[in-house]
Amino acid sequence: MELLCGEVEPVRRAVPDANLLHDDRVLQNLLTIEERYLPQCSYFKCVQKDIQPYMRRMVATWMLEVCEEQKCEEEVFPLAINYLDRFLAGVPTPKTHLQLLGAVCMFLASKLKETIPLTAEKLCIYTDNSIKPQELLEWELVVLGKLKWNLAAVTPHDFIEHILRKLPQPSEKLSLIRKHAQTFIALCATDFKFAMYPPSMIATGSVGAAICGLQQDEDVSSLTGDALVDLLAKITNTDVDCLKACQEQIEVVLLNSLQQYRQDQGDGSKSEDELDQASTPTDVRDIDL
């Protein structure tokens, strides 16, 4: 029995590298290069004719569900959304291609970040077999070409450890703050209004929102209110007012998604079983606003 358990151990992940995370040069370099990887324009206005903002939300929500169900690493989803936005900022796309595009972006992001990436076949099943693996592979090349093979985009997750390290939090609270911040980052990726924000801003706002949210339950931080925002802004070199605005927007998005969740629950369309499967949204619901 023990042998059997050994054979099915979970996916191995790299341990955090203190040499990278405890070096300020890394943070500074991330801040320098992050804006290279932002989409070039607000594409609903200037590029896309068929695709509407609500469709991006639909495909993003679907992508998040797939990533959660497949227990992808946290970075995969925001990275895939980054590819999607950058592609859509350059290439007019009919809405019937959008889900294929979302699948391709998850395929690429998963390959870049995970030890055992998602397979093309599995992703096609998640589209209810509306696309074929061969099509997915062909479009993979198209997306790569249009992204100029620049896949190693900076995501908000790259900043989380750098930020947390500089906060005067008791270490036992950090994992909860980290978890909530990751949830906020995923939420931001589903909402287009964050698509053009620098990842460092989203990361800082998410950490801020996580601490504020948790503070109402218990004392997680010696810092409160403005002092916290000031410190966070200093760490990632962000304007204080921008950061406050960003954090407020993140909280609004959370509120909306909570309402959406309660509506869904009111419909009774989800079984208890299904709710338990989704790891991230459960965390969101746990946050008391």
Provide the b/e sequence for 40-51 (b: ≥16 CB within 10 Å). eebbbeebbeeb
Q: How many CB atoms lie within 10 A of CB 13?
A: 10
Contacts of 227 (CB under 8 A, 6+ apart): none
Identity of the residue, 221 or 236, whose beta carbon is nearer to other proteins in the bound complex = 236
Nearer to other proteins, 35 or 226 (CB): 35
Q: Which of residues 129-188 bind other proteins (CB under 8 A)?
A: 129-135, 138-139, 141-142, 144-150
The amino acid that residue 35 corresponds to is E
Would you count residue 40 as binding other proteins (CB under 8 A)?
Answer: yes
Instruction: Kindly state whether residue 288 participates in binding other proteins, applying the rule CB under 8 A.
Output: no
Please give the helix or strand (H or E) that residue 114 lies within, else none.
none
Q: Which stretch binds other proteins (CB under 8 A): 55-63, 155-163, 179-187, 212-220?
A: 55-63
Q: Compute and round to an integer the Cα radius of gyration of the chain.
A: 19
DSSP code, position 268:
T
Q: Which of 21, 112, 196, 231 binds other proteins (CB under 8 A)?
A: 196
The Cα 160–Cα 178 span in angstroms is: 7
Among 119, 231, 285, 286, binds other proteins (CB under 8 A): 119
**Which residue type, as a one-letter code, is found at position 102?**
G
Q: How far is the CB of 36 from other proteins (least distance, A)?
A: 3
For other proteins, the binding residues in 265-284 under the rule CB under 8 A are 273-274, 277
Residues 76-115 as x/- pattern, contact with other proteins by CB under 8 A: ----------xx-xxx--xxxxxxx-------------xx
The single residue among 77, 126, 184, 192 that binds other proteins, judged by CB under 8 A, is 126
- If you count them, how many residues does the chain have? 289
